[in-house]
Amino acid sequence: MTDPNWNLDDYQFDFGTVGPYTGSIVHMPIELKMNRIRVYLMEGILPQAKRSLAVQAELPSLLLLAVVDYLSGFFAGRKSDRDDFIAFMGRYFPGKYQPFLKSIYDQLRSGLMHNLVAANPYKPRLQTYTIAHTSSSHLEQDDQGKLIFSVSTFLIDVSRAWVMYSHELIEKSSPESDLVKHFHRRFNKLDGVGAFMEQVPDP
């Protein structure tokens, strides 16, 4: 983890009483909506990224950048853009990321998602990256001046960001806050169909 002082115990939830629910998912209490996202990420997407890393497949694991895009949409309440991605990371990722947020979006996120390279040919290169499976030098320069990007560390920091965001959403925000309104607006798009995918086991 990039922030060794971060403590999961500081982000405990007190859901109170949330009874069984059988109606439309767009009308579920926010605690149940948030749990659907938690299950999708923490039991579906992130374990798949860990399995990719276990077989030295760093590039598939970097689809974690799409997780940041995904969460940025809930944070902003709409289709996320560059500013939303940067704002989400600025709020929920460790301080070590702050000087590199624009280049992470422009080079890593957009370079990989649109061009399958860690350098966006259509943006000025503020920073070049070396993608590492695991490195204790995450977001530090190597001997060639490239920034080391440790995918295993990023995976931990994505998990940490989800915990912090969901904790703020449930424990720190009033139902009328923009953060909560944005979450509902994004979750409810397409009657909730666009909020998450459910994996169907093979027959």
- C-alpha pair distances (Å), 117 with each of 42, 97, 101, 106, 170: 27, 20, 18, 11, 37
pLDDT at 198: 75
Who contacts 119 (Cβ-Cβ below 8 Å, separation ≥6)?
Answer: 107, 111, 125, 128, 129
pLDDT of res. 113: 81
Please state, rounded to an integer, the average pLDDT across all residues of the chain: 88
Question: What integer pLDDT is reported at residue 177 of this predicted model?
Answer: 96
Q: Express each pLDDT in 99-151 by its tens digit.
A: 999 999 998 898 888 777 777 777 777 788 888 888 999 999 999 989 999 99
Q: What is the pLDDT of residues 30-47, one digit of tens each?
A: 999 999 999 999 998 999
Count other Cβ atoms within 10 Å, centred on residue 141: 13
pLDDT value at residue 168 = 95
Q: pLDDT exceeding 90 applies to what percent of the chain?
A: 52
Provide mean pLDDT across the span 178-198.
Answer: 91
CA angle 100/103/106 to nearest 5° reads 150
- Three-state helix/strand/coil letters over 38-51: HHHHHHHHHHHHHH
Burial 162-175 (b: 16+ CB within 10 A, else e): bbbbbbbbbeebee
